[in-house]
Chain A
Amino acid sequence: MNARYFRITAAEMYDDHTSGLVFSEIDVYNAQTSSGDMATPVTQTVLPWQ
């Protein structure tokens, strides 16, 4: 999927008053340049054909 913008919304909370969104890093995942699930941020560029 191609996109320039993305928006992350809290769709359901554990508690409306004390829950929110907490992210220390948000990164894009690309299947061609990554392998497996990654729990750490990916900040480098790896082109699929390189």
Chain B
Amino acid sequence: MKNFLFIPLLLFMLAVSCKKEETAAPVAVDDLTTYPGKNRAMVTFSVPAGAIRGKVFYNSGSFKEFDVAGPVQSVIVDDLSEQEHILKVVTMNAEGRVSNPKAVKAKAYGANYLGGLKPRRWKDQIDHSPTAIEIVFDPAFENETDVVVVVFTNTSGKKDSVEVSAAKNSAMLNGIDVSQPYYFYSRYKPEASAIDHFLSSNVDAKNALMFNFKKSGWKVHGVSDEVTGRSAAMAIDNNATTLWQSSMSAPKPAAQHWITIDMGTSKVIDGFNLLNSYTNEKSAKKIKVDVSQDNATWTTALEASLNISFYGKCYRFRDR
């Protein structure tokens, strides 16, 4: 009789004991936050008590599994198209009991965003010494919140770089080997919290210098003759009211009239804009333009007639 009562009691106690060992599922994650990236996004959240692993669901059924690494968990979800996504996070305890999901919107950026990014506009280059130059930029674009990165080779032959914040408009490159290429690009972040940078296309700064046609660095390298008060420098002084005039009175000058300009550095040129001041026969009838990289080897680039009435005209090399 004793045994008859003891066995059911034992079974009941065992059942109660087993029920006590079962744990509840973790609560839903807390502090769920997303950070956009390049075709990916990161989520962070506070891990609920008891959770040891979990999943982040995205794209209608795809998921990324993770093992809990601490009280605050970060998970990066890759392969996201460039749009807003809904990410759902669940965690599990050791018994596999699953928390309720918690969802959050996450944005991923991609080729579309990247395609709209422009490098900062190059404005000028100032040569401080043979190994120190300053590249001057236009002000940052409105959406340009990160930096411009200028990459160059230093005089030791190693790659170096300088970063220019959006608030600044110039970069000093000290110890640069200007015989090597140097270039820059703008680094963007679509949002301050983004986990990835997006880089604009590169701009060859050395090549940019060849398109700098400002005449502040030009010099008259030589001139056949000039009359008093109308010096050769006045032909390149950015002042249309001053002029260079060669001698026009008898006796005829011993040499041809000519002027040689040094533009300081090599430029990509397709012709010249010549602004004349006289509309009568005091102008030459024909001109010849020779060009040179080194002031030693010269190539005739243009031969053109000057109309008596011309005041200003563009002469292109293709017009030869």
Contacts and interface: CB of A to CB of B under 8 A. Distances in A.
B284 A2 contact: no
Contacts of B277: 22-24
A40 B240 contact: yes
B262 interface: yes
Contacts of B261: 5-7, 26
A45 B214 contact: yes
Contacts of A36: 314
Interface string A1-22: 1111111111111111111111
Given A30-B270, A47-B121, A22 B282 contact: yes
Nearest to A34: B314
Contacts of A15: 281
For this complex, into which size category does the number of interface residues on chain B fall? Answer: 35 or more
Interface string B278-291: 10011111111111
Interface residues of A, number: 49
Contacts, number: 261
Interface of A is mostly: loop
Nearest to A2: B266
A18 B211 CA distance: 37
Contacts of B311: 39
B265 interface: yes
Given A19-B285, A20-B282, A40-B240, A29 B259 contact: no
Contact of A5 (B221, B268, B278, B314): B221
B263 A5 contact: yes
B283 A14 contact: yes
A17 to B, nearest CB: 4
Interface of B: 121-124, 203, 208, 210-215, 221-222, 234-253, 256-278, 281-295, 298-299, 301, 303, 308, 311-317
Given A1-B291, A14-B285, A22-B283, 4 more contacts: A11-B284, A21-B258, A38-B314, A45-B214
Interface of A: 1-34, 36-50
